[in-house]
Structure formats: C-alpha cells, structure tokens
Amino acid sequence: MQSMSRKGNCFDNSVMENFFGHLKSEMFHGEHFADFAELKVEIEAYIDWYNSSRRQERLKGMTPMEYRCHTLAA
C-alpha cells in the first residue's frame, strides 16, 4: 500500500500509523476471525473502546472523550 503522505513529509501518517500499531498489538495479534463481518464488528468495538474507555496517563487519567469535553468546557 502506498503512503498517503506528501512527498518528503513522513509525519502526515504518524497518527494513523500509531493507531494501527495499537490496533494490531492490542486487538488483532493472534486472533482469528470467521469472516469479514466478525472482524468489522470487533474493529468497531475496539475503536469505541479506544476513544471512550481507554484511560491515558498523558491525558491526566482521562479517556480521550473526557479530555476533549473537558478541554471544550474550559
């Protein structure tokens, strides 16, 4: 697959590459799925968990959603 970043700028894809690294190591590695539909359901559940339940130390112990709401309220 070809990179979607601009020529000479490797940082354009860094956020998605980081996410896909987490996805592969935390959800996908070593798992087997019966079909594409099952894989799709699992990926959607992982994305929901990643954004709304995963607490991060760098976000002061908040989930990404809590941090966004907190920042917008300020």
Is residue 44 one of the residues assigned to a domain?
yes
Q: How many domains does the chain have?
A: 1
Q: What's the rounded Cα separation, in Å, for the pair 27 and 43?
A: 8
pLDDT per position as a tens digit, 1-27: 555 556 666 666 787 888 888 888 888
pTM above 0.75, yes or no: no
Q: Which domain holds residue 63?
A: 33-74
- 20 part of a folded domain: no
Residue 14 resides in a domain: no
